[in-house]
Structure 1
Amino acid sequence: LIYILIVAAMFSIYFAISDYEGDGGFTSWLEFWLIIAVIVINVVIGLLQEGKAQKAADAIKAMLSPQALALRNGEKVDLDAALLVPGDIIFLKSGDKIPADVRLVEVTKLQVQEAMLTGESVPISKNTTAVGEHAALGDRKCMAYSGTSVAAGEGVAVVCETGDNAEIGRISKLVTDTESVETNLQRQLHKIGTVLAVCVCILAVLAFVLGWKGPFEMPWQTSFKNAVATAVAIIPEGLPAVVTITLALGVSAMAKKQAIIRQLPCVETLGSLTVICSDKTGTLTKNEMTTVSLLSYQTQIDITGVGYTPEGKFMVDPPGGGEKVELTDEKRVKFVRDLLEVGTLCNNASVFQTTVETTGAEVWTASGNPTEAAILVAAMKAGMNPKEMRQREKVATIPFESEHKFMATVMQGE
């Protein structure tokens, strides 16, 4: 249909020039610029969507670690992750982003957050035990992957793959190198365009022949002009505009939900879906945990709100029964604040606001263990400020271990 629009634009400018001073000339110029505007809008929307898709790929690349502590000439040196090559020995510690796909050779209670690759919401304990060649990604406990982060412990590893050969690199490559597949809408429009083009050509030739050699015996110039007018009248100039605008509205609606659609016709394909097969974390869920209730020996206090946004209320059952009401009892409020204070101080996570590059929206995100982040958010819902609370001097810490299943901190102050 774009090609038909271009042909229609050529015919329109022909009429505009041939009938420059008449009313037909003005109408032809108006049609010409309208058709050009539709073509330009279609191209611009396509370019914008391609740009958003490229930003998504860039966001994946931004997950890669820019620095690494590596062994060079017998000494530990800080290097750009881009300078790492297979065979390099690197050192990992809590808080580091892993700069490449690596094979672990030494670990000390090492745990790695791999939710972005495997969907596991909790950090994975790593070891050096070899696994089978065809083991699933989540079962390779002796490996660590580029873009994931060290949640706890330390380790020494040998670089295996870097760049596009790493697991995260393959994902980035899939985002940027998607094959262009013709959708059902494109096939139908292409079919309509082909049929229209054939009909226009046949009818235009018939109009020209009948006008010139037929009973009307018009001059060939007049017959040709009438043939062109017939062709322009048949071509549905408004169809591409309607299709483009409709699909653009669909793309805009999806963008507000932070879903990037690279090609306009894919909107129609999404509307035709009946079954979606998907993994969980990152698509159906966001690897965000939420504290939903606090439990004491006397009562249960429910917390509203979902995710890391610190907006919610503390709800309890009223004395006489019925629907839950907001917590106002001072004694219970103190219990909630004391409990969440402990949860905030025995906590290595952090919650903060960031800006989504593709949409400019402000969202709350977290670093560290998702369970600890959920406790921080609950404290913020109670009006507490974790940053101020953590300014107190920390005297000592007993980190969480699976053997004893608790964490303890000793804080200076009251």
Structure 2
Amino acid sequence: MQEKKWYNIEAGHVLEQLKTNEKQGLTNEEAAARQGQYGKNELPVGKVEPKWKKFFKHFHDVLIYVLLAAALITVILGHYIDTVVILLVAVINAVIGYVQENKAEKALNGIRNMLSLKANVIRGGLRTEVASKELVPGDIVLLRAGDKVPADLRVLRADNLKVEESPLTGESVSVEKRIETLPEDTVLGDRKNMVFSGTAIASGSGLGVVVATGEQTEIGKINRSMTQVEELQTPLLKQTAKFGKMISVVILFGAAAMFLFGYIFHDYEASELLLAVIGLAVAAIPEGLPAILSIILALGVQTMASNNAIVRNLPSVETLGAVSVICSDKTGTLTKNEMTVTSLILAEKEFDITGTGYEPAGQIEWNGQEADLETDAALKDFLTCVKTVNEASLYQDEQGQWVINGEPTESCLVTVAEKANQPVAKLESLSKIPFDSAYKYMASLVEVDGEKVIYVKGAPDRLFEMAGLEAGSSERTLWEEKMKKQAQMGKRVIGAAMKKVSSDVTTIDHVDVQSGLTLLGLAGIIDPPREEAIVAVSECKKAGIVVKMITGDHKETAIAIGNQLGIGDGTRAIEGRELDQMTPEQLKQAAVDYDVFARTSPENKLQLVQALQEHGHICAMTGDGVNDAPALKRADIGVAMGIKGTEVSKDASQMVLVDDNFRTIVNAVREGRRVYDNLKKTILFILPTNGAEAFLIFAAILFGTMMPLTPVQILWVNMITAVTISLAIAFEKLEKGTMERPPREPDTKLLSPYYIFRIVFVSLLIGGGILAMNAELMNNGYDQAMVNTVTLQALVIAQLFHLFNCRSERNFALTKDFFTNKIAFLVAGLLIFIQLGVTYLPFMNTVLGTAPIPADYWIIPVLIGFAVFVIVEIEKWITRKVVAARASR
């Protein structure tokens, strides 16, 4: 059943094939029998996984394993406070993941909630109301304005029937329906003899026969797509998973090798050696890293929220920084989804209209000057006509937003009249001819200055005939050229005309307007690009990000809007029907070759996102309709509109734009790049601590000397540096030139060769300096508690100095921006205060095994830290020179 192309079958044959009758419909017995065959008209509910299982699945992650391993070690060491803290971080990560998963499931519920609850049908020759879930193929359904369509229907009768399909197709204007058979290759947005489940009747009435129910409807196919779409792992999670595995393997083999070496070559007791090896493992595991990564991402989420971008899961913050392609829906995303008159073409003048959307802000201009209705009678006649022959109204809601009541194309004509330099009257209609698609115009009889006038508004080609402009005449050709020029700019054109009649005329009919009209002019109407979106697309190009427009709108309109936005070359676009005929390889190539995609189906959007991902792109997809939901879910970053977006699109996305502003995406990408850079700087800062500690333990086992730090002290250093001074890096500002560099490659390693060099270099620098200090202290006969305390302080102070190296990856630390990050100095003060407590508070001496040290002993840690800072800055200077030399070759 679902394979039939009902739009390609003549209406009478559709009824025959479904064995039903337009006047009688199905009997209740036939409907019941068919429901047994086709099932209920509702979307299937998948198998529900137990909540406890969903929760514990979120512990299945390498980062969590690292945390749990660290917690186990702290239990073994009896350091129960740290155990609680580490486990708390692991549980919080799991809770965040669990909450996000539940939100994703709401996307499917949102689709189900779009379905109509009741339907008016003809059963056994009688009109009756039934529950929508009881509908079956062959049911005859009556449609009227305000109804939600309960199933996919083939239209049998259409009386000025217009349907709002933007949530499903992305079409910005309600679609006029008819009954004529359509070609087999007609795309979803052009199937004008079909109405679809979940859409709404905007005006008129009609009759249709059910051809698809439940999962077989177009909205059902979207629901099925969403359940089948595989959500991709973010680049950061992929990188940290590899990083975690690498750390685990290195620690396992390193600890085993050192245990064997110490046991064979040195006279260590097994228990003492095991404690030393555990200390080595504790030293090597960056326990605080997962926590600080989560904190940095959470801070990124907060920053984005303050800039109108709500990010729904932490790793998505970083993913934004890697985006290389943004696939954007047109309607409501790049454009305002508010029809706007941008030009008025009269017989002798052409006017430009400023301002966009339904808000009556802007003016009517001619030659750069505001037009004056006092001196321009033709303009006044035109505006009076389009405002009078109009069923729409415009008003401000409680939030101050300008909203419409009526057809968008009529409403924007009210707006343009309001932009005139003086009020334009809406005259009282003495008699009307309502609009109908059969004749494509509407008219009103009014009284103007004591004279009776008929104002007419409608399709220009009909008005040309009614105004006596013969085909091929110079005047008709001139008007047609003007109309063609507007159409090439993607504009819809509405005409206005008038006719003076005798004062005794009280009613009008079609015969009264078939001749003798005077053409007043044309209005060019378009859903205009957002002004800020044009700027945002330009910024994306500078950042090496390609913007592609994927819309359900017509090809010419898509090209014109794309050209205004700076998307595409202004001449090329490809339609969904062409994509449908391509092989997978051809489609994959088309996804890269074209930037404008028109008349696309939900399947096309999903296919294009997948094709771009196969090319190695990190893909963001924006949208606001149900039709966007599968692609939003599949994309690396799905971005939904917060104001005009459907709940389904919001629930399927990873980010919601509170202000529906495309520019907000660029701001989010900027923040994503800053967050990623700061994540890398954090790793560059934290790992040398672990490296230096591991080096000290390794050297002690290798040479058979006293352990410079106990496992508890190592754990303290790891946690205190992670949760205090490393936090300062999260607040570092975006470095100059970040938004002028291309996006990083998806397979970029978290640790580049240079990072590995820096980590090893600084680890040896800190570890070597402390090792030399330890040798001197032990040679002078100091006890272990004193040596351990000075060693601990030297590690912490060295890392404190190294923090200022890491605030910029390669640039000089002491610049004019040195004091911009106040948090760095705040946490530095906090760390010094804590470390004084570690040294001089008796209970801390007991817990950590430290001892009070004379004031002059602080000089050694400070000197080591200062030396680290200077030497690393020299290394950065050398690195800059080498990189610059290579670049100049």
Q: When the two structures are superposed, what TM-score results if normalisation uses the length of structure 2?
A: 0.37
Contact 2:157–2:208 (8 Å) recurs in 1: yes
CA distance in 2, matches of 1:269, 1:66: 40
After superposition, residues 305-324 of structure 1 pair within 5 angstroms as 306-308=356-358, 310=359, 312-314=361-363
CA distance in 2, matches of 1:158, 1:232: 71
Partner of 1:125 in structure 2?
176
Partner of 1:136 in structure 2?
187
Shift of 1:98: 1.2
Relative distance call for 1:301 and 1:132 in structure 2 (3 A) is closer
Partner of 2:435 in structure 1?
400
Partner of 1:232 in structure 2?
282
Relative distance call for 1:275 and 1:180 in structure 2 (3 A) is closer
Partner of 2:408 in structure 1?
370
1:148-175 CA-to-partner distances (Å, cap 9, x unmatched) read: 2223332211112223321122223434
SS at match of 1:312: coil
Corresponding letter in the other structure for 1:312: A
CA distance in 2, matches of 1:204, 1:86: 69
After superposition, residues 258-277 of structure 1 pair within 5 angstroms as 264-277=314-327
Relative distance call for 1:291 and 1:159 in structure 2 (3 A) is same
1:187-225 CA-to-partner distances (Å, cap 9, x unmatched) read: 3222111110011112222344445554141341x3333
* Alignment partner of 1:287 is 2:342: no
* Alignment partner of 1:343 is 2:387: yes
* Alignment partner of 1:179 is 2:224: no
Shift of 1:136: 2.0
Corresponding letter in the other structure for 2:390: C
* Alignment partner of 1:110 is 2:161: yes
Relative distance call for 1:235 and 1:144 in structure 2 (3 A) is same
CA distance in 1, matches of 2:287, 2:194: 58
1:284-313 CA-to-partner distances (Å, cap 9, x unmatched) read: 445332345678878957442x445x4734
1:12 is matched with which residue: 74, 89, 93?
74
1:218-275 CA-to-partner distances (Å, cap 9, x unmatched) read: 341x333322222122112233234334444555666678877665444444433333
CA distance in 2, matches of 1:345, 1:239: 68
Contact 2:388–2:428 (8 Å) recurs in 1: no
Which protein is richer in helix relative to its size?
A: 2
Partner of 1:74 in structure 2?
125
Partner of 2:727 in structure 1?
none
SS at match of 1:174: helix
Relative distance call for 1:194 and 1:124 in structure 2 (3 A) is same
CA distance in 2, matches of 1:404, 1:129: 16
Partner of 1:385 in structure 2?
none
1:204 is matched with which residue: 255, 259, 279?
255
SS at match of 1:202: helix
- How many residue pairs match? The answer is 383
Shift of 1:47: 3.7
CA distance in 2, matches of 1:365, 1:165: 35
CA RMSD, Structure 1 to Structure 2 (Å)? 4.5
CA distance in 2, matches of 1:372, 1:111: 14
* Alignment partner of 1:145 is 2:180: no
Partner of 1:168 in structure 2?
219
SS at match of 1:407: strand
Partner of 2:87 in structure 1?
36
Provide structure 1 residue ranges, at least 5 long, that are not aligned to the other structure: 19-24, 356-361, 383-388
CA distance in 2, matches of 1:253, 1:58: 30
SS at match of 1:110: strand
Shift of 1:52: 4.2
CA distance in 2, matches of 1:203, 1:44: 34
Contact 1:49–1:261 (8 Å) recurs in 2: no
Relative distance call for 1:80 and 1:291 in structure 2 (3 A) is farther
Relative distance call for 1:58 and 1:298 in structure 2 (3 A) is same
Shift of 1:102: 0.9
Corresponding letter in the other structure for 1:235: I
CA distance in 2, matches of 1:149, 1:52: 26
CA distance in 2, matches of 1:351, 1:84: 39
CA distance in 2, matches of 1:378, 1:53: 42
Partner of 2:506 in structure 1?
none
Shift of 1:99: 1.3
Shift of 1:101: 0.7
Corresponding letter in the other structure for 2:324: T
Provide structure 2 residue ranges, at least 5 long, that are not aligned to the other structure: 1-62, 447-889
Contact 2:433–2:442 (8 Å) recurs in 1: yes
Relative distance call for 1:330 and 1:138 in structure 2 (3 A) is closer
1:126-159 CA-to-partner distances (Å, cap 9, x unmatched) read: 2323345553213323211112222333221111
Contact 2:392–2:414 (8 Å) recurs in 1: no
Shift of 1:62: 3.7
CA distance in 1, matches of 2:282, 2:99: 31
1:89-128 CA-to-partner distances (Å, cap 9, x unmatched) read: 1001233221111112222333323233333333333232
Contact 1:8–1:232 (8 Å) recurs in 2: yes
CA distance in 2, matches of 1:139, 1:226: 74
Query: Bigger shift: 68-77 or 239-248?
Result: 239-248
Contact 2:388–2:444 (8 Å) recurs in 1: no
Contact 1:53–1:176 (8 Å) recurs in 2: no
Contact 1:100–1:145 (8 Å) recurs in 2: yes
Shift of 1:73: 3.5
CA distance in 1, matches of 2:109, 2:357: 25
CA distance in 1, matches of 2:244, 2:98: 23
Corresponding letter in the other structure for 1:400: F
Relative distance call for 1:92 and 1:184 in structure 2 (3 A) is same
CA distance in 1, matches of 2:88, 2:398: 37
Partner of 1:155 in structure 2?
206
Q: Highest CA radius of gyration, 1 or 2?
A: 2
After superposition, residues 208-227 of structure 1 pair within 5 angstroms as 208-212=259-263, 214-220=265-271, 222-227=272-277
Partner of 2:513 in structure 1?
none
Identity across matched positions, percent: 40
SS at match of 1:180: coil
Contact 1:114–1:120 (8 Å) recurs in 2: yes
* Alignment partner of 1:46 is 2:97: yes
Relative distance call for 1:393 and 1:33 in structure 2 (3 A) is farther
CA distance in 1, matches of 2:314, 2:111: 23
* Alignment partner of 1:64 is 2:115: yes
